Amino acid sequence: MSDELCFLPATELRARVARKEVSPVEIMRAVLARAERMQPSLNCFITLCGDEAIAAAGKAEREVMAGGPLGLLHGIPFTVKDLVNTRGVRTTFGAIPYKDNVPDHDAVAVARMRAEGAILVGKTTTPEFGTKCLTDSPLFGRTRNAWSDARSSGGSSGGAAVAVASGIAPLAIATDGGGSTRIPAACNGVVGLKQSNGLIPHSQVHDAFGNQTYVTPMTRTVADTALMMQAMSGEDASDPWSIGIPQGDFVEGSAPSGNLRGRKIAFCLAPSGRPVAADVAASFKGALAGLQALGAEVEEMPADGFEIEPIWRAINHTAWRARFEQLAADHGDVLSEAFMKQLALATRVSGVDYQRAMFDRTSLFRRIQTLLQRFDILAMPTITRTALPIDQDLFGTIEIDGRVFSDVRPNWFPWTMPFNMTGHPAVSLPCGFGADGLPIGIQLVGKFRADIELLRVSALFEASQDLLGRWPSQTG
């Protein structure tokens, strides 16, 4: 029974708690037992909060029995990526210099989850400061894919995705600066949303006005993503992009009602010159057919003009250099080689280069806006092949169907970075499995701040795929 509880979605757990069919303590004991059993093989946590979680679950149980009003997520376990501040629980940013850092406050998203009754299980792994698409660090080692210990979990929210996929907790707070939620979601077969800019306030970002990083939900189902969006969204004074956005009804509005008749979807397999594995292409083709079966009109869009990685790199690496240059000077001996190499790359970007990249970012936004005046949704593979080898080097080569390419980022996830820069909502959904038995994801992109409609389309697609009952066999 305990493992059955671990794989139930949050929507079902909250219903059972409300009906007094299962107690928050019973759920938490099951989740913590699974976490302790799986952690040695998966390595998806930096910190587990066992005693605190059990105490919180006991309090939640007493509140249920008292018969008072319950929060949206009352008694539901959740995890938080170790980039996101948690009051009284160490937040290391995946970096040795911060291994004993304990914040005195919660990030806004965490505070809102707790306010709705969710209970923190632990902090999930991230590469140093979330700066790469692979989840490993000198602080904790490597996080393994939920489906294969020979493969990477993706990154940088690899720990969050693995914890969700392996049945440790149904809800995870992740982050996404260039695909860091959607990449590991695709690698591990879960739902990863990067919402529209401003929908969930980002209270830790250093450049709020030029922001392209997001605090995000990671779940097993679209309905659970909607629950997290309901809990975490809404304006906050810390984030200028959040101010003035009305609170939407994510739970009701994103239910899989109706069909896709009258909806137009533009698709593209890959940007010009970029590879895609044959099994990914086949799954993507099947997913498009599924969207058509739901009533959508599907049309191919041009593949040129999406060479975005150099623009993303100029903006992102410059921000990293500004944030971490002194840290690297003081602690370079305990930071990873990949982290130090990325900071070194930023020294080649001038102020003029940076501003030109920002101009290009504006042009990209307007181009996507033009497309979304003709179409309701854009569709593309989330990543171009299944999860990379566990020992993959960020600066090494990448192999796709026997062909070797020199750059990981633009060849593995060319489609995730654009929507960090434009702010449009983008979600990775499971859409099949590769020749190696590992998950494949499709990315759907919606109109700016039309996240509820994007989730409704996603829920209809999810219901048509019949993939929710298949979970990793290696996770015991």
Element (H, E) at 173: strand 171-176
Cα 342 to Cα 398: distance, rounded to the nearest angstrom: 18
156 among known catalytic residues: yes
Give the tokens for residue 255: 């239910």
Neighbours of 102 (CB within 10 A): 13
Cα 212 to Cα 196: distance, rounded to the nearest angstrom: 10
For 437, the 3-state DSSP assignment is coil
Cα 378 to Cα 372: distance, rounded to the nearest angstrom: 8
Virtual CA dihedral for 277, 136, 39, 181, nearest 10 degrees?
-60
Residue written as token pair 């979807």: 265
**Integer angstrom CA distances of residue 476 from 3, 190, 434, 466, 472:** 9, 18, 22, 22, 8
Catalytic, out of 81, 123, 132, 194: 81
Q: Are strands 119-124 and 45-48 parallel, antiparallel or unpaired?
A: antiparallel
Cα 32 to Cα 166: distance, rounded to the nearest angstrom: 13
Whether the upstream peptide bond of residue 156 has omega within 30° of 0, thus cis, is: yes
132 among known catalytic residues: no
Neighbours of 393 (CB within 10 A): 13
Neighbours of 381 (CB within 10 A): 27
Catalytic, out of 137, 148, 152, 180: 180
Q: Which amino acid is at 8?
A: L
Catalytic, out of 156, 157, 254, 458: 156
CB 114 within 8 A of CB 73: no
Cα 202 to Cα 197: distance, rounded to the nearest angstrom: 9
Give ∠ CA 263-269-275 in degrees, rounded to 5.
Answer: 170
447 among known catalytic residues: no
Cα 270 to Cα 414: distance, rounded to the nearest angstrom: 8
Which among 224, 154, 226 has a CA at the least distance from the CA of 185? Answer: 154
Which among 97, 112, 138 has a CA at the least distance from the CA of 326? Answer: 97
The catalytic site residues sit at: 81, 156, 180
